[in-house]
Amino acid sequence: MSGVLAPVVTPFDGGLRPDARRFAGHCRWLLDQGCGLAVFGTNSEANSLALRERMELLDSLVAGGIDPVRMMPGVGTCAIPETVALTRHALDHGVGGVLMLPPFYYKGVSDEGLYRSYAEVIERTADERLRIYLYHFPQMSAVPLGVDLIGRLLRDFPGIVVGMKDSSGDAANLERVLEAFPGFALFAGTESLLLANLRLGGAGCISATANINPAAIVDLYQGWRSAPADELQAQLDAIRQTMQQYPLLPALKTVIAHYADDPEWDRVRPPLVELTAEQGASLIAELDALGFAMPGVGCGGGAGPSVR
Amino acid sequence: MSGVLAPVVTPFDGGLRPDARRFAGHCRWLLDQGCGLAVFGTNSEANSLALRERMELLDSLVAGGIDPVRMMPGVGTCAIPETVALTRHALDHGVGGVLMLPPFYYKGVSDEGLYRSYAEVIERTADERLRIYLYHFPQMSAVPLGVDLIGRLLRDFPGIVVGMKDSSGDAANLERVLEAFPGFALFAGTESLLLANLRLGGAGCISATANINPAAIVDLYQGWRSAPADELQAQLDAIRQTMQQYPLLPALKTVIAHYADDPEWDRVRPPLVELTAEQGASLIAELDALGFAMPGVGCGGGAGPSVR
């Protein structure tokens, strides 16, 4: 897999239940913009979803005709049996790959322990269709994945461990990993490092803000060898920096709610908290001032037939 | 609840499946020593267990005749629906209380978000038997629970939020919490702070090393007003300090395997890694030198009839 993927935000209804219809609508809109679907990532609030909720949402997307080949669902949990269950379920739907956090409760664990975690999941899953993208997000998981560990996994599981999402925000780490493993499908965790990552030989980006600004990010991906690439990158950065002044995940939902004219989007599950009305108004004013828009968003979600 | 509880270590068979028979045997031995059962804590590798595995283990303990009133199962997960499911299941078994981690994937969350998490679990559980002990373990969960949050929960959910396990290892935090909330059932997360906590008005301790040294810790709890209390505390500290030179959780299992003469105990799930043979030999030599023993351990576990 390569290109631009969004960790698709998960809408909730008034009872904080996942809203499969709006979720599918947003996925369709993202695909129309040329953006792949990293459903059940950090910005999807996947770790606030029950195992069964994740499976049912994936079932409903596929039943609704959304192409699983464009999906890279997050499947990493704290417990090996649950990671295996999610992985098998995703593979049975024919997904293009899976994004796998390490077990993230125990801190200060050794590379040997992390290696055994991934190896155990691979052996138990026992499916030749398995394509794992490791998920390195030290600020959130507090369980970093270093070059030694990646190297050992690539050596022992070639063709299965195929890439990584690096959400560290550290350009030097992209360089370190791609120097060590040329051809490794490395995704930056933010579009602010998309051009840098592509110039280093990386595969693209999986970025929260691809939920709201997918077409422009895809434009940079497709045109990164062209003259105005640095200018495109600067335009993306302006939007990203505006978003990052607010708690990013609830800010994404506020932005979708506004531009889709669908206030139902503006809900998060605890422990997250939605933006205040003041924060929301200020964020929208800043985006409007940048000429930001989300053409077509919400049309496939708020009004279409249910997929369940 | 009060006194000394062990976060009961969870034995695994050769396929890394939970071993319900040895688990029940160890629980019986702990109860015989006067120690309560904080099953499914951090040192139980609970966060490496699937939801279903936790439920089945609790079912098997209760079916095996182990008194649920002496149990304080860990029920806190990242996802509200799963925390509610574990809590309801535990209450239906008649447990004395539940130990509840905050959702621990998302970091840097607000007190408002944590308050909403606990409030949502309490409202959805909707059971007047609910007695919650909060679980403050900033070094592992990376989601601390501060005095403001505790105060708000105590005010809004009196008789439901009744206590806390403080695993910060910070004596000043015990003092701060007990000064703010006299009568709050505060458990130190280590027996090294047991005497200090009792002198401050705390309820006892929930400590990893209670898995191997329960009787001596219970002695201090029962005799803390007596003259030799400081001496008893010093003896406990010597054992604890010896254990803490090694990765604590696998060290507990190595110690049980040795003194129960049952090598089956010496397994952990990834991402943890068992001690090396050299580490194990060195640890046992140090404990032997301190006159350490575990009389009767393993008799109810390794040889008795299965409870399932």
Residue A303, pLDDT > 50, answer no
Residue of A nearest to B77 (CA): A48
Nearest by CB to A47, from B51, B105, B120: name it: B105
Contacts of residue B282, Cβ cutoff 8 Å, sequence gap at least 6: none
What are the DSSP E strand ranges found in chain B?
3-6, 36-37, 98-100, 132-136, 161-166, 185-188, 204-206
**A295 in contact with chain B, both atoms CB, cutoff 8 A:** no
Residues from chain B that touch A107, judged by Cβ atoms under 8 A, are 139-140, 142
Q: Decide if B85 and A50 are in contact by the 8 Å CB cutoff.
A: yes
Chain B, window 272-291: residues with a beta carbon less than 8 angstroms from a chain A beta carbon: 272-273
- Taking only the tens place, the pLDDT of each residue in B91-103 is 999 999 999 999 9
The confidence score (pLDDT) of residue A305 equals: 38
User: Hey, what amino acid is at B210?
Assistant: A
**A123 in contact with chain B, both atoms CB, cutoff 8 A:** no
Q: Decide if A48 and B80 are in contact by the 8 Å CB cutoff.
A: yes
Pairing of strands A161-166, B204-206: unpaired
The confidence score (pLDDT) of residue B307 equals: 35
**A56 in contact with chain B, both atoms CB, cutoff 8 A:** no
Cα–Cα dist B289/B270, whole Å:
31
Average pLDDT over residues A122-148: 97
Residues from chain A that touch B114, judged by Cβ atoms under 8 A, are 270-271
Instruction: Take residue B257 and report the two structure tokens written for it.
Output: 């395997």
Which residue has 């200090």 as its token pair? B196
Residue of B nearest to A82 (CA): B50
From residue A265, how far is each of A9, A38, A279, A288 by CA, in Å?
9, 19, 16, 19
Cα–Cα dist B100/B77, whole Å:
8
Residue A183, pLDDT > 50, answer yes
Number of CB atoms found within 10 A of residue B121's CB: 25
**B139 in contact with chain A, both atoms CB, cutoff 8 A:** yes
For chain A, percent of residues with pLDDT exceeding 70: 97
Overall pTM surpassing 0.90 (yes/no): yes
Could you list the pLDDT tens digit for every one of the 308 residues in chain B? 999 999 999 999 999 999 999 999 999 999 999 999 999 999 999 999 999 999 999 999 999 999 999 999 999 999 999 999 999 999 999 999 999 999 999 999 999 999 999 999 999 999 999 999 999 999 999 999 999 999 999 999 999 999 999 999 999 999 999 999 999 999 999 999 999 999 999 999 999 999 999 999 999 999 999 989 999 999 999 999 999 999 999 999 999 999 999 999 999 999 999 999 999 999 999 999 999 999 999 875 444 433 33
Count CB pairs under 8 A between chains A and B.
119
Question: Chain A closest CA to B298's CA: distance in Å?
Answer: 27
The confidence score (pLDDT) of residue A290 equals: 96
Nearest by CB to B106, from A78, A113, A271: name it: A271
Residue among A263, A267, A262 nearest A249 (CA):
A267
Residue A138, pLDDT > 70, answer yes
Nearest by CB to B47, from A79, A117, A141: name it: A79
Which residue has 């939605």 as its token pair? A274
Cβ atoms of residues A140 and A109 within 8 Å: no
Nearest by CB to B47, from A49, A53, A105: name it: A105
- Taking only the tens place, the pLDDT of each residue in B131-141 is 999 999 999 99
Q: Which of A9, A44, A48 is most worth mutating to test chain B (most B CB atoms within 10 A of its CB)?
A: A48
Q: Decide if A272 and B109 are in contact by the 8 Å CB cutoff.
A: yes
Nearest by CB to B78, from A47, A80, A142: name it: A47
Q: Residue B101 has what DSSP assignment?
A: P
ipTM: 0.96
